[in-house]
Every structure is written in C-alpha cells, then in structure tokens.
Chains A and B, each alone.
Chain A
Amino acid sequence: TQLLEQSPQFLSIQEGENLTVYCNSSSVFSSLQWYRQEPGEGPVLLVTVVTGGEVKKLKRLTFQFGDARKDSSLHITAAQPGDTGLYLCAGDRGGSEKLVFGKGTKLTVNP
C-alpha cells in the first residue's frame, strides 16, 4: 500500500505569514499532484511535478518535488484569507492510472 502522509493536518495562521506544508512517502512516485478542495466540492488541480528536484511556482505558491521523488512540499508566501482550504497531494506510481491521495492539510488564514 502506497501511503502519502501530509503534515501538518491543520494549520491556522494570520494573513501575511508564510507557511510550508509537506507530503511524504516511503514510495517513489512518477509524479505528484497538488489539489485544493473546498468543503462539499471536488479537488481542483493546482500543479503537477514530475522530475526529482523540480520546483514550480504558481503566483505565491511554490511547489517542490523531492530529489528521490518520494516527497513534496508546498510553500505559500504572504498568505491571504482566500488561500483558506484543504490542500491535498496525490501521487501516481506509473504503470497505474490511479491516484493515491494524502489526507490533506486544512489551512485557515485569518484576516
């Protein structure tokens, strides 16, 4: 069973602060996706990382894939209340079409 562990599970910060959330596994993944999910809605794809060590930026969000392709991080600079949501990482092993999801980090950014 491939597990993706996300930490922290909950994070509450003030507007303007920086934060990093983590997605870790003992398994190697062909790619990792980061999704954001609002209550009662489906996951929305933010980014896909494929190459070990890869860094991708999406405005104030920076995503990194670990060199060994077993872990990933999401860093948010100057968080805004609109960043509030559940951030999910999901990985695929290659040769399999299913995505394995972590349980998510629930982020609350207080104004």
Chain B
Amino acid sequence: EPEVTQTPSHQVTQMGQEVILRCVPISNHLYFYWYRQILGQKVEFLVSFYNNEISEKSEIFDDQFSVERPDGSNFTLKIRSTKLEDSAMYFCASSANSGGAPVEQYFGPGTRLTVT
C-alpha cells in the first residue's frame, strides 16, 4: 500500500542551525502539507503546497520556514535558524484531491526535531 515516508526519523540540532526535513509523498498525490505536533499538544497545520507553490500557510509558518519540491518525488521543509520552541514532531501529509472533494490527507511517520 502506498505510504508517505519521511527522513530522518529523529534530528537533533543546535539553536540557530538550519535543518531540512524531507518527505516523499504518495506518488500520484498532488497536494502536500506540513504539520507539527509539540509534545502533548494538538497537531497543528503549517503549510499546504500545490502546483509548485504555497497555497495556504498558518501564522506559525513565518519567514524562518520554507518549503520546496526540488524534484518529482521529494517535498522538503527548511527551518533557517532553529529555536528551542521549534522542537516538535513534524508530519508531512499528502492528498490526491482538494477543492470541493473531501480532504483525505495521508500522514507520514514524522520527524522528531530536537533543538538544544
């Protein structure tokens, strides 16, 4: 069964460093998302991406964050200068459709980011 994959599973970085989290969405999906989940809190939307551009972003997704689809299979989230409060599980998701159809998003296993 097709699934979303994410690497690395765990990333430890020092405050102020840049990190890139990687995702391979399900191959025939066109819509891609990043969410995060701080320990013990809700899953929170960060950004959605379609047709090589950001289609929606939350207040969390400030100038320190960027997303990219560098090739036909990968989808990345970059945090330019990490802060302690960026420590969280980051989930990539993808969906086949949007705009009028039910938004069925399929999630990857997550990357646990620890900023020290």
Contacts and interface: CB of A to CB of B under 8 A. Distances in A.
A44 B98 contact: no
Given A97-B56, A102-B42, A45 B112 contact: no
B102 interface: yes
25 contacts: A30-B102, A30-B103, A31-B103, A33-B103, A33-B105, A42-B4, A42-B91, A42-B110, A43-B43, A44-B107, A45-B104, A45-B105, A88-B43, A90-B43, A92-B102, A94-B100, A97-B48, A97-B55, A99-B35, A99-B43, A99-B105, A101-B44, A102-B42, A103-B41, A103-B42
Q: Taking chain A's interface residues, is the majority helix, strand, or loop, or is none over half, making it mixed?
A: loop
Given A96-B56, A97-B33, A100-B45, A42 B108 contact: yes
Interface string B70-113: 00000000000000000001010000001010111111111010
Contact of A98 (B45, B89, B107, B108): B45
Contacts of B89: 40
Interface of A: 30-31, 33, 35, 40-45, 48, 50, 88, 90, 92, 94, 96-104
Interface of B: 4, 6, 31, 33, 35, 41-45, 48, 50, 55-56, 58, 89, 91, 98, 100, 102-110, 112
Decide if the interface of chain B is mainly helix, strand, loop or mixed: strand
Given A43-B43, A44-B107, 13 more contacts: A33-B103, A40-B110, A40-B112, A41-B110, A43-B107, A45-B105, A92-B102, A94-B100, A97-B98, A99-B103, A99-B105, A101-B42, A103-B41
Contact of B58 (A40, A48, A98): A98
A33 B43 CA distance: 13
Nearest to A44: B107
